[in-house]
Amino acid sequence: MSETAKEPRKGEFQPYRKTLRALCVVFAVYLLLLLFGLPQKWTAAQFVAHEESVEVVEVGETLDSDQGVEETIVEDFEIDASLDRNEDAKELAEKLNGEERPIPPQWTAIPFVALLLCIAVLPLVPATEHWWESNLHRFLVAAVLGLISLGYYAFLCDFPIDLHWPGHKVVDPSSGPLAMAGTVFTNAILGEYVSFIVLLFSLFSITGGVRISGDLKASPIVNTAILAIGALLASFVGTTGAAMLLIRLLLDTNKERKYKIHTIVFFIFCVCNVGGCLLPIGDPPLFLGYLRGVAFLWTFHLFAEWLFVCGVLLAMYYFLDRFVYYPKETGLDKAIDAVDRKPLQIRGLFPNFFCLLGVVLGVMFLDPGQEFLSLFGLKTGWRPPMFLRECFQLLMVAISFRFGSNEIRKENDFNFSAILEVAALFFGIFICMQAPLQILNAKGAQIAETVDRYGSKIMLNEPKEFFWISGSLSSVLDNAPTYVVFFETARSASEGELADAIETGDLETAEKIEAALTEGKESAGVRIPLALLVAVSLGSVFMGAMTYIGNGPNFMVKAIAEQSGVKMPSFFGYMGYSVCLLLPVLILMTIIFL
């Protein structure tokens, strides 16, 4: 009898032993790399060397002639001295940043467009509908299209490209096809994809061990309350974390209702996107901005826009559900819903609450781009080695699996299918988008030059263009890397205009631009006009909700809803909802706030 009683306990962690073993292998490999000092070297190559090359030029100081400017400086500003000391940087400036900056031909965007079409069309075609349900098949499609993109850089690209991981280096076609393709692959996967997917995986896995259960009355006011709570949580546990915590409660509550697709769509709007703009942990674009120097708490400056858009969407949902969809439900369905009730319960907070907190603290304090505890103004002299932050997040996942309740995960129907779908598709997306992003980078520079020709008013006081351009592209290019492009475009446009004003002796204009840049430096931690930083941040976060691929959690919620029997709209069907419901709200927001 005692042996029988022990049997369930003995196999309690059996379903996740492979996961724990895989995580242990990752930890062992990383420890080995630390012993050889590689992560420390990568950190120094990417961050320390750059900061040592930055010189602060004082008021009234004259730049040397070999720096290309012989004008008196109006205010303090930073000059990247590596442009003179580093031959690679000089080569990059000459070959990649000139007026005739070489870019990939437009046809190189075909693999990316083809991947989007596969995501949109293959689930709708009867011959491929079931084939596409396999994550292996999704990965094969993404990998093949990614290889086509890499093939262009390996055999057809005739201009040098910038390797930006772990440190800066210009790779010339003479280096060989493997070096060219490897550069693009490294930039996409090691430079961007790994941090992106590890954060999503960590939040997804940990929240999968928390069960917010209950079968509440599926009324408009209850659904609105769930959406509101999710929108508030999204900034503090991430859009992925908030979505995974509440989507099952929302699905259980509405299982008796026939009209619930609009509820899931509004959940994607509010919880998976708009709600996550108050902290860098909330949404991947803001996380990348934090990695580029934006102060951790600066995003609270977006509170008014967050409150407005969330408030309007919640009000819109309530009235739509109350007066359009809820009256369509049959009396029998309403009666079953009224009888079949379960009280609200929250289980699995230990150890998962502390693991979620650990992920947040890891993002805050283990940034290799900043000294440890610099958030509190302390000078510790130690930078976390590269990928220590990601390993710490995975450690929180291991603790969650090892000490969390396996029964709760079973009740949640937890599995890795949804995150594997995101990982498979975004692996290809991050590679295929490299060529379109290079084109966009060049076009962004042209936009900045056009703004400069027509005066600084548009750039400094009219951020609507940056909101709509960055937002529109975020909806189809994934909002995280698109945010980076326009973040850098806004910063370089401002710095470029400052340099032109100094060179031409227009001190009045230079003072105006420098004042805007200094204001951004003091409050946001970066030299960028605040109006542009606000516009790019809002555009990338809010308009990531326009399509399924605009933000990682969108796909996860879609996958979980479909696993629960909800027939979600197709790629273009979802866009019909976002264009009709979300787009007018964003237009109204730009009129009021931007």
Spatial distance between the Cα atoms of 430 and 163, rounded to a whole number of angstroms: 15
> What is the pLDDT, as a whole number, of residue 501?
67
- Per-residue model confidence as pLDDT tens digits over 369-396: 788 887 777 788 889 999 999 999 999 9
**What percent of the chain is predicted at pLDDT more than 90?**
42
User: Quick one: three-class SS letters along 318-379?
Assistant: HHHHHHHHHHHCCHHHHHHHHHCCEEEEEECHHHHHHHHHHHHHHHHHCCCCCCCCHHHCCC
**What percent of the chain is predicted at pLDDT more than 70?**
79
> What is the pLDDT, as a whole number, of residue 238?
86
Query: What sign does the dihedral 556-559-564-566 (CA atoms) show?
Result: positive
Give me the residue label for tokens 């979505």: 243
Spatial distance between the Cα atoms of 69 and 436, rounded to a whole number of angstroms: 34
Q: Is the pLDDT at 441 greater than 50, yes or no?
A: yes
- pLDDT tier at 495 (50, 70, 90 boundaries)? low
Q: How far is CA 104 from the centre of its chain?
A: 25
- pLDDT tier at 482 (50, 70, 90 boundaries)? confident
> What is the pLDDT, as a whole number, of residue 525?
72
> What is the pLDDT, as a whole number, of residue 70?
39
Model-level pTM greater than 0.75?
Answer: yes
- pLDDT tier at 335 (50, 70, 90 boundaries)? confident
- Per-residue model confidence as pLDDT tens digits over 55-69: 444 434 443 434 444
- Per-residue model confidence as pLDDT tens digits over 151-171: 999 999 999 998 988 888 889
Q: Which of 192-196, 352-356, 436-440 has the lowest mean pLDDT?
A: 436-440
> What is the pLDDT, as a whole number, of residue 492?
66
- pLDDT tier at 12 (50, 70, 90 boundaries)? very low
> What is the pLDDT, as a whole number, of residue 446?
55
Spatial distance between the Cα atoms of 109 and 114, rounded to a whole number of angstroms: 9
Query: What sign does the dihedral 155-158-164-168 (CA atoms) show?
Result: positive
